A and B are shown apart, each in its own frame.
Chain A
Amino acid sequence: MRKVAVIGVGCIKVGEHWKKSLRDLCFEAFKNALNDAGIESQMIDGLYIGNMSSGYYQRQEHLGSLVADSLGLIGVPAVKIESACSSAGFTFKEAVQAVASGMHEIVAAIGVEKMTEVKTPDATSALVMAADHDYEAEFGVTFVGLNALIKRRYMHDYNVKDEDIAYFSVHCHKYGANNPHAQYPFPIKLETVMKSPIVADPIRLFECAGIGDGAAVAILCPLEKARELIDEDRIVEVAGVGAATDTIRLADHDSLTSFKATILATKRAVSSAKITLKDIDLVEVHDAFSITGIISLEDMGFYKPGQAAKAAVEGELEKDGKLPTNMSGGLKSRGHPVGATGIYQIIEVVQQLRGEFGKNQVEDAQIGAAQNIGGVGGSVTVTILRRFR
């Protein structure tokens, strides 16, 4: 297996792109990534496109052909990868495998989702397809409803206060305020979160990632080739990728307050990167809801069960804290264009390792991790990236 590097990244600001189609979103992000890498598009010989619901939102499937055409890359093999909210994490994994195996030389891992073409209730219907239709969605539960069960159980089992969980949103917005690609780039107060309307008790509106459009692209090639193509200071190595699944049904999980797939994916990623958790300088976790961000930090092994909310409140997740977390603003503030989110996270880690993350730059970041969850923990990827020099 060859070592793989990320040589270029690009995205668009997450938001309501009323005047742009799914093709336009991909094109813009791809153009930005090409410029970042400083290579010609014709050098790309493989495309992987992460997306969850284009069939529902745009009545459009077959994104492989559509996106290759839109990028002027007709003839290049291209395929859509779907794994609910972790579509982009799995897309990156497929792209890494393609390069590592020697099958492809330079590939683009693209994540894209255009959610604002439908009304909120229809988006809710699309999102609940990440849950088990026959045993969950059919009975009327929404995706927020499933996560509300998790939060309630977590509060009960670990005696954690509602506002300590809600604080995770405040933390994310503090950093998202400095992210030029964030959908909601402004700080919020805990009081705002606590006074926001209940969406599914006990989850409030300001604890939920919003609905938005986005596209993000990472360009990968063999590490040796990267040294020929770009300045060594800008090379970021893919140190390890781990992925795992769990039952799609929340009720069949071993625990309501822990995602087994995150535990497994983290172990696999850390093992393949030949590092320990202590070597990780910063992390982007999948905070689709404030509670999801908190249990992700615990499942990855950074905190014991029931301890991560307190860590956030006590400042351990700050830029100069023990474990800088979601310096991008996370899903809550940067936004969560579902099938694109995993690549946004990877871009943010890459930029941190290059020292290009502006006000939220973590000092001397060498290794970073991104965790991307599909559904309520039914599938998870953990990607570990390392600064080459």
Chain B
Amino acid sequence: MPSGIIGYGAYIPMYRIRASEIAKMWGKSPEAVPIKEKAVAGPDEDVATIAVEASLNALARAGIDPSEIGAVHVGTESKPYAVKSTGITVAEAIGASRMITCADYELACKAGTEALQTCLSHVESGFAKYGLAIGVDTAQGRPGDELEYTAASGGAAFIVGLDNLLAVCEGRCSWSSDTPDFWRREGQKYPVHAGRFTGAPAYFKHIINAAKALMEKLNFKPEDFTYAVFHQPNTKFPIKVAQILGFNMKQIEPGLLSPIIGNCYAGSSLLGLAAVLDVAKPDDRILVVSYGSGSGSDAFSFKVTELIEEKRDKAPLVKHYIERKVYIDYATYAKFRGKINLG
């Protein structure tokens, strides 16, 4: 019996900072910024609160008793605690079973899809009736670094199971290699990246290989997909990788959120998937390919069912969170994100 998604939910904090505001701070050209604006977690928000919000939305769409969830996996690289499970906090907050397996995942920006892979496997094996997979981050970018323009906050949650599917998982695969393009060592506040090395040998190589491997496995071509979502570290990369693989703008536009919310790291490709599910029709096919530095990509093919129509409006759409915004200046942003050193 195929596994798939029975409920999904998103959450994006309401604060926004324009990339041009960040450029102004560092004396950079406002034309050279990689996105328009990004979402910023407020002072009372963190990965756990965002994960809970997204999970409650997923539960509303799934229409299940949370105590039937037997696995909770959170993928993130901005855990509130280095040692103390965020997954357990989320499970407790939403009323999941005490008999759960729970772990936090880290593989940079693909930790969320890694959680999704695991939850799908749990339900397929019969280990859990339902699994909750969350990709979420309040991403860190060192002040003045290129990453500061894009590192954003947000997340998406997916409840998976074997029945009442709103999207069937038709297949999935991963492609990984030891590629040091981005990392954060123990004790460091901000990650380090290898500049242009994050492009061709990292992002593009892994996404292209994972996507091609999945399409070959399923005997699909780009035109067989209604939509495609690729990890979104900026505006340029997902558009370029789509072109390389043979997808057009119409296929990727509904899931392309990075220009207006930034890169939510482990939440990035999953938020894109949530946005596509918000507009998808029954029988639409969706390709999702994540990328996590270090490096690896997970590729999924989902086919939307007729249940999407009745479940969709049981929780806020991604669009709702995108339109709900309050602009902040750099000083407020620096305060919210703990960038001010109080000595």
Residues of A within 8 A of B (CB): 16, 18-19, 116, 118-120, 195, 197-198, 205
Contacts and interface: CB of A to CB of B under 8 A. Distances in A.
Contacts of A119: 193-195
A16 B31 contact: no
Interface stretch (B14-22, B196-204, B213-221, B308-316): B196-204
Given A119-B194, A119-B195, A205-B32, 10 more contacts: A16-B196, A16-B197, A18-B197, A18-B201, A19-B201, A118-B195, A119-B193, A120-B195, A195-B31, A197-B32
Given A16-B196, A116-B196, A119-B194, A197 B29 contact: yes
A197 B30 CA distance: 8
Nearest to A204: B29
Contacts of B196: 16, 116, 120
Contacts of A116: 196-197
State the majority secondary structure of interface residues on A.
Answer: loop
A18 B195 contact: no
A116 B196 CA distance: 8
A18 B193 CA distance: 15
Interface in B1-48: 29, 31-32
Contacts, number: 21
Interface string B182-218: 0000000000011111001100000000000000000
A151 B196 CA distance: 28
Interface residues of B, number: 10
Contacts of B197: 16, 18, 116
Nearest to B195: A119
A197 B195 contact: no
20 contacts: A16-B196, A16-B197, A16-B200, A18-B197, A18-B200, A18-B201, A19-B201, A116-B196, A116-B197, A118-B195, A119-B193, A119-B194, A119-B195, A120-B195, A120-B196, A195-B31, A197-B29, A197-B32, A198-B29, A205-B32
Interface string B245-260: 0000000000000000
A16 B196 CA distance: 9
Instruction: Name the residue among A16, A18, A195, A205 with the largest chain B CB count within 10 angstroms.
Output: A18
State the majority secondary structure of interface residues on B.
Answer: helix
A374 to B, nearest CB: 25
Instruction: Name the residue among B32, B193, B194, B195 with the largest chain A CB count within 10 angstroms.
Output: B195
Contacts of B29: 197-198
Nearest to A118: B195
A61 B49 CA distance: 53
A347 to B, nearest CB: 26
A261 B124 CA distance: 74
B184 to A, nearest CB: 16
A197 B31 contact: yes
Interface in B219-271: none
Nearest to B23: A197
Nearest to B33: A197
Contacts of B200: 16, 18
A238 B195 CA distance: 41
Contacts of A19: 201
B27 to A, nearest CB: 11
Contacts of A120: 195-196
Nearest to A211: B196
A3 B197 CA distance: 45
Nearest to B32: A197
Contacts of A197: 29, 31-32
Nearest to B194: A119
A120 B32 CA distance: 15
Smallest CB-CB A-B distances: 3 pairs: A197-B32, A197-B29, A119-B195
B182 to A, nearest CB: 12
A195 B31 CA distance: 9
A121 to B, nearest CB: 9
Nearest to A195: B31
Contacts of B195: 118-120
Nearest to B205: A18
Contacts of B31: 195, 197
A132 B337 CA distance: 40
Nearest to B192: A119
Instruction: Name the residue among A118, A197, A198, A205 with the largest chain B CB count within 10 angstroms.
Output: A197
Contacts of A195: 31
Nearest to A123: B195
A197 B195 CA distance: 18
B168 to A, nearest CB: 39
Contacts of B194: 119
Nearest to B29: A197
A119 B181 CA distance: 11
A113 to B, nearest CB: 16
Instruction: Name the residue among A119, A120, A198 with the largest chain B CB count within 10 angstroms.
Output: A119
A119 B31 CA distance: 21
B202 to A, nearest CB: 9
Nearest to B30: A197
Nearest to B197: A18
A119 B194 CA distance: 6
A195 B29 CA distance: 11
A176 to B, nearest CB: 20
A308 B123 CA distance: 72
A331 to B, nearest CB: 18
Contacts of A205: 32
Contacts of A18: 197, 200-201
A120 to B, nearest CB: 6
